């Protein structure tokens, strides 16, 4: 266990009497089920622990609890950590040009056959 952290007791408090919010959310989820909504958790936290918490924080805690229960690292698999800049294919697909996946595959096959530099030259000729 990391230094400075105390294991929470059944009432959601640490050995020093501080409220462990993660443990409180964990207990409410255990009681109400994994499908419980953040607003419902918020109400239960207020009723059971006299604890007020923002629904965004509850949602974050809920995600960490569910990922840990599934055996995943909450940091490694979080959407923010995995999210990357859009690829050129995504930009083409959402640019409103009407280009389809099949069109991109055809261009890829052409690039594989002729070489990317050659395809680039062809595009320059076609756009003039």
Under 8 Å between Cβ of 66 and 34: yes
- Three-class secondary structure assignment of 83-97: CCCCCHHHHHHHCCC
In a domain, 28, yes or no: yes
In a domain, 11, yes or no: no
With a cut of 70, list the residues of the chain below it in pLDDT.
1-17, 72-98
Is residue 99 domain-shared with residue 64, that is, in the same domain? no
With 0.75 as the threshold, say if the pTM is over it.
no
Residue 114: its H or E element: helix 101-114
CB atoms within 10 A of CB 63: 14
> Please, how many CA atoms are within 13 Å of residue 104, restricted to the half-sphere of its CB?
13
Is residue 25 domain-shared with residue 69, that is, in the same domain? yes
pLDDT attached to residue 27: 92
pLDDT attached to residue 6: 47
Structural domains of the chain, count = 2
pLDDT attached to residue 24: 92
Domain ranges, residue 33: 21-82
In a domain, 9, yes or no: no
């Amino acid at each position: 266990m990391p230094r400075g952290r105390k294991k929470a007791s059944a009432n959601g408090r640490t050995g020093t009497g501080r409220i462990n919010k993660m443990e409180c959310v964990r207990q409410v989820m255990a009681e109400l089920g994994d499908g419980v909504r953040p607003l419902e958790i918020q109400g239960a936290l207020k009723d059971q622990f006299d604890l007020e918490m923002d629904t965004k924080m509850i949602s974050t805690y809920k995600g960490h609890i569910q990922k840990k229960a599934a055996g995943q690292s909450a940091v490694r698999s979080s959407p923010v950590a995995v999210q990357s800049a859009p690829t050129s294919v995504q930009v083409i697909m959402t640019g409103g040009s009407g280009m389809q996946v099949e069109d991109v595959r055809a261009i890829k096959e052409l690039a594989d056959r002729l070489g990317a530099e050659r395809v680039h030259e062809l595009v320059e000729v076609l756009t003039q």
